[in-house]
Amino acid sequence: MTEQSGKAVVGGSSGEDGKTRVTILMALGANLVIAVAKAVGGLFAGSPALLSEAAHSVADSLNEVFLLASLKRSKRAPDNEHPFGYGKDRFFWSLLAAVGIFTMGGCFSVFQGVEALRSSGEESHSGYLVGLGVLVVALLAEAASLAKALLQLRGQAREAGRGLLQQIRLAEDPALRTVLAEDGTAVIGVLLAIAGMALHMVTGQVQWEAGASLAIGVLLIYVAYRLGKDARGQLIGEAVDPGMQLRIRAFLAEQPEVDAVTSLLTMRLGMDSTLVAARVDLVGGLDSEEVEEISGRIKGEMRERWPTADHVFLDITDASDEDRSRAGRDRELLDGAAAEHPAGR
């Protein structure tokens, strides 16, 4: 087996990281201010929904710190202990952010809702107007942060030739995806809190506000589950999208010296690092020097076409009939997967 490795830098990758850092910092600043305002307003008004939203903002603030750490730590150079680099650090810190949303946001919100339902005392409406004012300001701040994340995604969508909704669904940067999920959830959560507080004031029934708090908690738990599931898949080791796999297979099969591509394995090692391992059968009549030259040329061309493919392994082996049949079945499965996700990069 032969190997080609090196540091690949995607065009615009550092620029995108810079934009993501600005987006995270903007979200962090907004969440810190909003968390304090919500906590003060919630204590003053005695509002469980507003206190739930304060917990939500505290969780989001801590998560932004995690995401900032992921941007820096994932860029560390490979070393003897981590020869493939630290790209997966980005996925790890995103998993911690999901855990933070679940514990500090979702669980606390559910607790506040349950406590409000169990409360048997008279509810005071003093300060509720202040609380509603805090929520309106929070809504504007969260919407501004969400708009910044959406603008960055729209730019990425334009470069990739996709629609905005497609780009949101296919977003691969866990840091940007987490900020987008947090801000989107925050906007919905603030609207729920406003509705719960307003209905509480009008009807005098705390159940409205308790219900809003429970709804916020359930929403946060669901978002945390989805983000955690994505981060888990990335940490375990995800293949690149089916479209890219098909293009790599097609490139290898097009080489005049390649008789068959019997196996192709890929794994994302980070935002700009990918491992590619292919087993190929070359045409007969080649000596060892020719095999080395062909292998080096193929790997060099692959790096030019796919800069993220910075770890390429080619296994030159004779293919059996069984190998060729399995390769055909794998190709059919890839064709089906690529048809379901035509916008894959």
Helix or strand or coil: residue 105?
helix
Helix or strand or coil: residue 16?
helix
- Predicted confidence (pLDDT) per residue in 104-113, tens digit: 778 888 887 8
For residue 38, pLDDT beyond 60: yes
Spatial CA neighbour of 326 closest among 284, 279, 257, 282: 279
Pair 10, 307: CB distance under 8 Å? yes
Spatial CA neighbour of 138 closest among 102, 185, 186, 97: 186
How is the beta sheet containing 2-5 ordered, strand by strand? Answer: 2-5, 311-316, 273-282, 258-270
For residue 226, pLDDT beyond 70: yes
Name the band, by pLDDT with cuts 50, 70 and 90, for residue 274: very high
DSSP run (H or E) holding 82: none
Q: What is the pLDDT of residue 124?
A: 52
Q: What is the pLDDT of residue 8?
A: 36
Pair 18, 152: CB distance under 8 Å? no
Which amino acid appears at position 147 of this protein?
A: A
Q: What is the pLDDT of residue 298?
A: 93
- Predicted confidence (pLDDT) per residue in 64-86, tens digit: 888 888 888 888 888 888 888 88
For residue 248, pLDDT beyond 90: yes
Most confident of 14-28, 151-165, 197-211, 215-229: 215-229
Tell me the C-alpha distance between 152 and 68, whole Å.
17
Name the band, by pLDDT with cuts 50, 70 and 90, for residue 175: confident
Average pLDDT rounded to a whole number, residues 282-301: 89
What token pair was written down for 6? Answer: 């090196």
What count of other Cβ atoms lies within 10 Å of the Cβ of residue 166? 15
What count of other Cβ atoms lies within 10 Å of the Cβ of residue 53? 36
Angle at 339 between CA 337 and CA 340, to 5 degrees: 65
